[in-house]
Amino acid sequence: MAVDELDTRILRLLLEQPRTSVREYARMLGVARDTLQARMDRLERDGVITGTGPSLSPAALGHPVLAFVHIEVTQGRLDEVGDALAAVPEIIEAFSITGGGDLLTRVVARDNAHLEDVVQSLISMPGVVRTRTEVALRERVPHRVLPLVESIGRTPND
């Protein structure tokens, strides 16, 4: 789908000021409320806007340790292991990947001992061959989408 300059401005406001009303967004952008709502509905329908809930901090919820766990899976059991991972609350994301391993998970834990317990539970899952864990020391670039939105919204002459 094409994202034009108005869409980019809308997305920027949604990211920078997520608690503002549609009426206020329309005022800030200088467009009719119905125009704004139609654009937002289209962006949602097209899968550009995927959620409107709050962004939560696992660290503030008592899970300051972040690790990336690569999981190698027995051939033919990827779906089964993926379903089992969904039942582990400390796994906040999981992706099928290429390269070294079959799955990459983002895991949070209360401390290193808790992380070890989570990793041991992953190793014991049927279909898991081995894991490799990398502990994150510090977040250097937080999850963000705004720079991408801005780069897409630019015209070739910008």
From first to last of its 158 residues, the chain has per-residue pLDDT tens of 678 899 999 999 999 998 899 999 999 999 999 999 999 999 999 999 998 888 889 999 999 999 999 999 999 999 999 999 999 999 999 999 999 899 999 999 999 999 999 999 999 999 999 999 999 999 999 998 889 988 886 656 55
The pLDDT value recorded for residue 75 is 95
Bridge partner residues of 91 (DSSP)? 107
The pLDDT value recorded for residue 100 is 84
The pLDDT value recorded for residue 8 is 92
Map residue 93 onto helix, strand or coil.
strand
Order the strands of the 128-135 sheet from edge to edge: 91-96, 103-109, 65-73, 128-135
The pLDDT value recorded for residue 9 is 93
Q: Do the Cβ atoms of 122 and 69 come closer than 8 Å?
A: yes
Q: Considering the entire predicted model, what is its pTM?
A: 0.84
Work out the angle between the directed axes of helices 146-153 and 5-16 (0-180°, nearest 10): 170
Using CA atoms, how far apart are residues 100 and 106, in angstroms rounded to an integer?
Answer: 16
The pLDDT value recorded for residue 54 is 82
Query: Is residue 75 packed enough to be buried (19+ CB in 10 Å), middle (13-18) or exposed (0-12)?
Result: exposed
The pLDDT value recorded for residue 119 is 98
The pLDDT value recorded for residue 155 is 58
